[in-house]
Structure 1
Amino acid sequence: MPTDLWRFAEALYQRPGVEAACLLLQTQGADVCLLLCAAWLERRQIICTNERSDALGNIAQPWQQQVVVPLRQLRQSWREQAQSDHALAQLREQIKQLELTAEREQLERLTACTQNWSSNAANAPLNWLEKLAPQQCNRDALQTLRIAAAHLSA
């Protein structure tokens, strides 16, 4: 299993069913970077507390809303027109790369926040995915992330 969050996220996203689960969760209001971090923390057996989840949310929410979402919305708004406009398609691809760079920065910020967090003590809660997902999101999609993370190579 990759030890840094970015590599973990890349590896997890490539697992069967994960991309679809992430896209579904995103349409339900979830911050996919935050959920990838949650899966990473669970896999590393990091204790889940309210203070820790709040700290992650305080990092992720403003970055997601001020940086990632506007880039995604711009890219998506150009989807149809870019099919018949080569120059716009190229700009759209550049926006896509910028969006990915912004997501990577968010993951790095989340990593920095977790740097000194200890591994699990016996029977301490590890329910990061449920804690960081919106309440009304698809629980099967969360389970897909959890199972895929558990099967990443050590």
Structure 2
Amino acid sequence: MKRDDLWSFALACYAQPGVEVACLELQAAGADVCLLLAGAWLECRRIACDGARLEQLKAVSDDWRTQVVAPLRGLRQSWREQANRDSDLASLRGRIKQLELEAEQIQLLRLQSVAEHWPASRGSADWLDQLCADLSDEPQISLNTLRYAAASQLASGD
């Protein structure tokens, strides 16, 4: 893959200190983490955020997340307690987790295919705040953690 692809960016960003916790907090508040990672990627690339682009990304992401990622995640989470006592179920749960990760990779690839040709501009590139405008909790600390990690990826050239 290209060095600046969304999947590589997302992996590197998610691996930064505090980002996993921040993303899980945002997810618990109702955010789509793949969409947030795409938003951070777009912010770093200085791609202007407008209503039409935002809705286009949400449509692509929401469909895949609700039809594929969320059911896999729900199944994996529902098996958590039982898997602690049943090694066969723990093995199946691990395979479901891998499928969930693959589904998230496809979701990110779909988001990239929509946005990768959008040119950088001088307009507002404030994707993360726009994506979190309707969340149930105050996301600013978690958003700042994600934004800092994304900026560090840009600074390191990854």
TM-score (norm 1): 0.95
1:130 match: 129
Contact 1:41 1:128 in 2 (8 A): yes
- Letter matched to residue 130 of structure 1: D
2:147 match: 146
2:83 match: 82
Q: How many residues are treated as equivalent by the alignment?
A: 151
Cα deviation, residue 135, structure 1:
2.1
- Letter matched to residue 49 of structure 2: C
2:96 match: 95
Secondary structure of the 1:151 match is: helix
1:59 match: 60
* Runs of 4 or more above 3 Å deviation: none
Distance 1:50 1:100, change over 3 A: same
Cα deviation, residue 133, structure 1:
2.1
Secondary structure of the 1:120 match is: coil
Structure 2 distance, partners of 1:50, 1:141, is 23
Structure 1 distance, partners of 2:38, 2:116, is 12
Cα deviation, residue 115, structure 1:
2.4
Residues 36-67 of structure 1: per-residue CA shift (max 9 Å, x gap)? 00000001111111110000001001111111
Cα deviation, residue 131, structure 1:
1.3
Structure 1 distance, partners of 2:38, 2:131, is 9
Structure 1 distance, partners of 2:101, 2:68, is 11
Structure 2 distance, partners of 1:80, 1:18, is 25
Residues 63-117 of structure 1: per-residue CA shift (max 9 Å, x gap)? 1111101100100000000011111000000000000000000000000001220
User: How well do the aligned residues superpose, as a CA RMSD in angstroms?
Assistant: 1.0
Q: Larger deviation: 17-26 or 144-153?
A: 144-153
TM-score (norm 2): 0.93
Cα deviation, residue 132, structure 1:
1.5
Contact 1:30 1:134 in 2 (8 A): no
Identity %: 52
Cα deviation, residue 140, structure 1:
1.1
